[in-house]
Amino acid sequence: MLDQQGLKRLNLSVSLNAASDSLRSELMPINRRTNLAKLQSALARYRPRRNFVLGVNYCLLPGINDTQSDARAIAAFCEPLGRVLLNLIPYNPGSQPLTRAPQVLEVERFIGWLRAEGLPVRERRTKGRSVMAACGQLGNPSARRSRKALPTLSA
């Protein structure tokens, strides 16, 4: 199907940010419409080519989603998805922070837990913190509320 549309090298990246529905729904309201089971099912079926690697993004929020059990749950979510590369993004607090930025040792510890679970991980280096433009900023809640409804993934 993608070949017919001239999209042979289409890539896909998904923001996970939590591996439980309750926390992910708090952080990402779209989860209330498309929960983790539906997302996992849709992602497991998506294989546009043999060498496809799914990008999974995870914003590390100290005290919120940074435990060893979170790392295990991420690995369990990713296990049926085929080849995955987890991009770990240290949280950038911004002007209305949910928590503080993670310390270097916290990021390294979390990466170690993910790798111990067998996940390939890349830390996304933050840039632009001084101008509130860095990766790891979760969106403005009022802007999220004003967005139009998004279509759901079919399971």
Residues involved in catalysis: 135
Distance between CA 146 and CA 112 in Å, rounded? Answer: 38
**Closest Cα partner for 43 from 71, 81, 96, 16?**
81
**Closest Cα partner for 115 from 75, 81, 70, 62?**
75
- Residue indicated by tokens 């549309």: 5
Distance between CA 89 and CA 40 in Å, rounded? Answer: 21
- How many C-beta atoms lie closer than 10 Å to residue 60's C-beta? 23
**Closest Cα partner for 75 from 135, 121, 123, 23?**
121
